[in-house]
Amino acid sequence: MKIKAINGFKDILPEEVALWRQLETTAREIFRCFGVEEIRLPILEKTELFARSIGGTTDIVEKEMYSFTDKGITLRPEATASLLRAYIQHGFHVRQPVQRLFTIGPMFRHERPQKGRQRQFHQIDIEIIGGEEPAIDAELMAIGQLFLTRLNLEVSLEINSLGCTRCRPGFRKSLIQYLNDYKEQLCDDCKRRLNSNPLRVLDCKSRTCKALVQDAPSILDSLCDDCDRHFSTVQEHLDNLGVVYTLNRFMVRGLDYYCRTTFEFLTSDLGAQAAVAAGGRYDGLIEQLGGPKNTPGIGFAMGMERLTLLMEQQQKETVPVRANIFVAALGEAAIKHGSSLIYQLRKLGLRADIDYKDRSLKAQMKQAGRTNARFTLIIGEQELEQQKGILRNMDTKEQTPFPLLESTEHQAEQLRQLIRTS
């Protein structure tokens, strides 16, 4: 009986890995220019960390976490909480007043798997901690914009403000009041969260809920003076940087800790309009997790499954990996010579292959084609005796003698020069 991977847990195959690496390399290059440093975090944390940060009444904590209940630990469902836990634990706030950090890795949520969404999914997560200036919000969005543009992805940026602990309760109240009049028409999810998490009704995907909230009060009308000023200054800075955005007063976050600026990068290339990156400000969270008082923070996460899907769609042609040299060796002595030669080639940093099975020349040439080699060096008993192999250019089919003189180290050097100049 074959054992298969768990539903929602996916292998990333060699032919897909190239895209993943491109994604990670691009992220690292761009983040470096913005002074964003990498941090690597464990995937297991105390369950309490997520209950305290994400909030006990959210879907994530209520039903989507993979927890070892007897040990009180959980596979992280997102990265922000872990990153902030590390920030607090290692006293990052005394190192620099504003700390820019990113992490890349797998997250785990028990959701219904669908295209581009797995139960083990991967995120690039970036956080700027210690700065409350609107310029920082704009800078963070500029990082996202630049990164996604560098990947040749067509995305649009939408922004909103969620207010703060002073002005949001008032908005929440008037929203509940408004929604209560239409309670019977709301979808089941929204009926349930009307009192616990009414803001989520604003971004509900159900058609009737969507229509109902069109005339709901706008959060942007109930911001306090500080939040209002903050949000308009964020927009000034975005304009200043030339980052294009639109306001979306229906955008909210699923997690309780977000406040003020919130944003999403969206694409319609995956069918329905979908977010490839989402984030926002969480000024009270660090203190709530036992960190230093009044430490503001803002961050966003990007789903790597979605990003690679998009990249795959846009890059129709992938450049296949090419082996530099395939050694087709016939007979025991030739295999010995060939295996020493490819080891020397590999030491020189070249991709080289050999077939140890001593199969027919025809079978080995077929194998050379599979590895997409540029050259095949054919060595049989006769070639060894005469110290002269046959070098075949796999593109032009041209064959030239190749001297098997001196050491294999020397021969590898000759081949390297040949590859370089061809």
Q: Which of 144, 162, 145 is nearest to 250 (CA)?
A: 162
Q: Does 179 bind Zn ion (CB under 5 A)?
A: no
- Encode 20-84 in three state secondary structure: HHHHHHHHHHHHHHCCCEECCCCCEEEHHHHHHHHCCCCHHHHHHCEEECCCCEEECCCCHHHHH
Binding window for Zn ion (CB under 5 A); candidates: 16-24, 75-83, 115-123, 198-206: 198-206
Residues 40-79 close enough to bind Zn ion by CB under 5 A: none
Q: Kindly determine how many residues on this chain lie close enough to bind Zn ion according to the rule CB under 5 A.
A: 11
Taking alpha carbons only, the member of 299, 306, 303, 307 closest to residue 106 is: 303
Binding status of residue 219 toward Zn ion by CB under 5 A: no
Nearer to Zn ion, 204 or 251 (CB): 204
- Using the rule CB under 5 A, is 280 a contact of Zn ion? no
| Binding span for Zn ion by CB under 5 A among 16-24, 44-52, 129-137, 224-232 | 224-232
Nearer to Zn ion, 101 or 159 (CB): 159
Among 167, 238, 310, 373, binds Zn ion (CB under 5 A): 167
Closer to Zn ion by CB, 32 or 166: give it. Answer: 166
Task: Give the integer Cα–Cα distance in Å for 383 and 326.
Answer: 16
Q: By CB under 5 A, is residue 408 in contact with Zn ion?
A: no
The stretch near Zn ion (CB under 5 A) out of 3-11, 139-147, 190-198, 328-336 is 190-198
Least distance between Zn ion and beta carbon 165 (Å):
8
Q: Judged by CB under 5 A, does residue 202 bind Zn ion? A: no
Tokens found for residue 344: 């020397």
Structure tokens at 132: 């409350």
Burial tier of 306 (Cβ tally within 10 Å: 0-12, 13-18, 19+): buried
Q: Which is nearer to Zn ion, 136 or 276 (CB)?
A: 136
Using the rule CB under 5 A, give the single segment among 44-52, 106-114, 203-211, 355-363 that binds Zn ion: 203-211
Choices 154-162, 181-189, 276-284, 388-396; region in contact with Zn ion by CB under 5 A: 181-189
Rounded to an integer, what distance in angstroms lies between the CA atom of residue 124 and that of residue 105?
A: 7
Using CA atoms, how far apart are residues 6 and 57, in angstroms rounded to an integer? 28
The site string for Zn ion over 127-166 (x = CB under 5 A, - otherwise) reads ------------------------------------xx-x
Q: Please report how close the Cβ of residue 164 comes to Zn ion at its closest, in angstroms.
A: 3
Choice from 126, 213, 227, 404 touching Zn ion (CB under 5 A):
227
**What's phi and psi for 112, nearest 5 deg?**
-70, 120
Query: Residue holding tokens 């070249």?
Result: 350
The helix/strand/coil state of 377 is strand
- The yes or no reply on residue 234 touching Zn ion (CB under 5 A) is no
One residue of 224, 274, 333, 350 binding Zn ion per CB under 5 A: 224
Angle 180-186-192 from CA coordinates, rounded to 5°: 80
- Name the token pair of 355: 């077939």
Among 65, 153, 190, 302, binds Zn ion (CB under 5 A): 190
Distances (CA, A) of 209 to 188, 190, 216, 256: 10, 8, 11, 21
- Shortest distance in whole angstroms from residue 207 CB to Zn ion: 9
Q: Which stretch binds Zn ion (CB under 5 A): 20-28, 153-161, 218-226, 315-323?
A: 218-226
Return d(Cα 406, Cα 403) in angstroms, integer.
9
CA distances from 1 to 7, 8, 190 (A): 17, 20, 44
Contact region with Zn ion (CB under 5 A), list: 80-88, 106-114, 187-195, 269-277 = 187-195
Does 204 bind Zn ion (CB under 5 A)? Our answer is yes
Residue 352 DSSP SS3? strand
Q: Is 187 in the site for Zn ion (CB under 5 A)?
A: yes
Binding to Zn ion by residue 216, rule CB under 5 A? no
The C-alpha atoms of residue 288 and residue 162 are separated, in whole angstroms, by 18
H or E stretch covering 319: none
From 205-213, 243-251, 344-352, 400-408, span contacting Zn ion (CB under 5 A): 205-213
CB of 80 within 8 A of CB of 103? no
**Closer to Zn ion by Cβ: residue 211 or 244:** 211
| Among positions 22, 156, 174, 206, the unique one binding Zn ion when judged by CB under 5 A | 206
| Residue 220 makes contact with Zn ion by CB under 5 A | no
For Zn ion, the binding residues (CB under 5 A) are 163-164, 166-167, 187, 190, 204, 206, 209, 224, 227
